[in-house]
Structure 1
Amino acid sequence: MTRIFPTALRTASLLVLLPLSLLAEQKPAASGRSGKPARAVTEKINVFDLIRNGEIYYHLNPKAELHDKPEDVFLLKDKELTITGRGYGCLYTADSFKDYRLVVEFKWTGRTWGDRADRARDNGILLHCHGPEGALGGTWVASIEAQIIEGGMGDMLVLNSGLPDAGIQQTKASVEVETDRDGEKRWKPGAPRQEILNGRINWEKRHEDWDDKVGIRFADDLEAPIGEWNKLEVIARGSTLVYLFNGKKVNEAFDVHPGEGPIGIQTEAAEMVVRRYELLPLDQTKP
């Protein structure tokens, strides 16, 4: 397939990956690849700067249908990160974080690839990552996902590896949920809390007729049209998570465990452009 972006558009710092020996070690991600304890965010951290400084790492599934090299999937130029989608995996922060407000501003370009060419455009942010990368299907890491998918912006996914290792933490969260018409869990403020160990909690108004089709839309969906900007925010305070999408609260969790870890941004066969990817202090009121 013809390459999308010429070499000149790549950021040089993204061409330098962490040593393969470090990637092969598969250290638990709870403290981050840097090995430092999780730090509360007390001043703005631009994740683009972490990328430029090499304070990140990648895990892409080499056996997936799409498996371009990481430096050809995550392209940082000037003030925008293009995620081509031609791979399945993540770009992670090397450090571990807690107590922050995460802001991601993004847009779909329209491109989709491979087996997902006619499926809903899909991506996501992985929070509180821990355990070995690739533990879930050779691609993902145990974490809690803030979903970025057409028709499901702000869905929450509790991801556990299921590895038979007593030393690996259990991802879990308590969420106020109701059961929708199709028997799926959906966030409902004030409903009884359920402890979730695996699976998805749909955002408050996700439509029961949602189908995995490109361009899927319903009247209550909050996302902007293709090519226009969206804002996803995650407030991580202690053992709680709050998701906001385009200014509206769409999901919430309590008793989240673990409550810290590296942060990952996914690639899942749909091209997405990110113009803002920042961690802010919890007490910062300005957007």
Structure 2
Amino acid sequence: MKHFATISFLALLICHLPVNIFSQTINLFDGKDLNGWHADVPELDTNKSAVFPFIIRNGMLVSLGTPQGHLITDTVYQNYRLAVEYRFAGVPGNCGVLVHASTPRALYKMFPKSIEAQMMHDNAGDFWCIVEDIKVPDMEKRRGPKENWGITEGKERRIINLTDSSEKPVGEWNTMIVECVGRSIKIWVNGDLVNYGFDCTADKGNIAIQAEGSEVEFRKVQLTPITKLSADDAHK
């Protein structure tokens, strides 16, 4: 009888656990233009002849890398799965996708307040804290001594990913998925879960793509909204 009661209690509990319900996927980039995005490139403030670092080429969104800056969605997003297919077409380099982006030029007068999902070759999936913060298991092992942690200039802002073996060789396409639900963020690279963080200091914001010194091609930037429901609501 006790065994039956325990099973019944667990079944009732499971029915009320939150589940993720995925809505219709949105193409943030249509391969034709940059509608729905705006750029923040500090050099363009004073150098009107500088090259605009984000272009459309052969149906792809290309970050030229310089001058450095960010391509930012016009819309603020919350609770979603972001799927990005990218490659360093020529030489390995640096780039990233920022989630929960808000105040522009909050770090080094360049980076918007955000959490970065790193794309730098051999480091894809690192978190970088940019005037926002996030926790992971094994924090001191992955971020360094606690006294050095911080979210501003000169602090330990990098949280190392769980594997550097998930990326494909330079020139091949990588798939990065960034899932933001509540105050948690998960990152997959080519199907491998490479990072998981929780207690993020933000739970919504714009999405941004970096120009950070290296040319990167993007052939897909898709967002799927997630609605958090209880299991019993999901099956109604």
**Shorter-chain TM band:** 0.7 to 0.9
Give the structure 1 partner of residue 158 of structure 2.
Answer: 200
Note if 1:121 corresponds to 2:93: yes
Residue of structure 1 equivalent to 2:202: 258
1:218 aligns to what?
A: none
- Bigger RCO of structures 1 and 2 (CA < 8 A, at least 6 apart): 2
TM-score by length of 2: 0.75
Q: Which residue type is aligned with residue 133 of structure 2?
A: K
User: Quick one: which of 133, 138, 141 aligns to 1:177?
Assistant: 138
Q: Are 1:105 and 2:85 matched, yes or no?
A: yes
Deviation at 1:174, TM superposition (A): 2.0
Q: Is 2:6 aligned against 1:45?
A: no
Q: TM-score, normalised by structure 1?
A: 0.62
Inter-CA distance 51–242: structure 2 relative to 1 (3 Å threshold): farther
How many pairs are equivalent? 196
Alignment partner of 1:80 out of 47, 53, 60: 60
Cα RMSD, aligned residues only: 2.7
Give the letter for the 1:107 counterpart: R
**Matched residue SS, 2:29:** helix
Provide the rounded CA distance (Å) in 2 between the counterparts of 1:255 and 1:50. Answer: 35
Name the structure 2 match of 1:147.
118
Gaps of 5+ in 2: 1-20, 152-156, 228-236
CA distance in 2, matches of 1:135, 1:245: 28
Q: Deviations over 1:121-158 (max 9, x none)?
A: 10000110112x12211211110000001111100011
Q: In terms of Rg, which structure is larger?
A: 2
Give the whole-Å Cα distance in 2 for the aligned partners of 1:53 and 1:144.
Answer: 23
Q: What is residue 190 of structure 1 aligned with on the other side?
A: none
Structure 1 spans left out of the alignment, 5+ residues: 1-39, 112-119, 161-170, 187-195, 207-220
CA distance in 2 between counterparts of 1:79 and 1:278 reads 15
1-structure distance, mates of 2:43, 2:65 = 14
Deviation string 1:185-235 (CA, Å, 9 cap, x unpaired) is 28xxxxxxxxx75211000135xxxxxxxxxxxxxx221111100011001
Tell me if 1:249 matches 2:169.
Answer: no
Cross-structure match for 1:15:
none
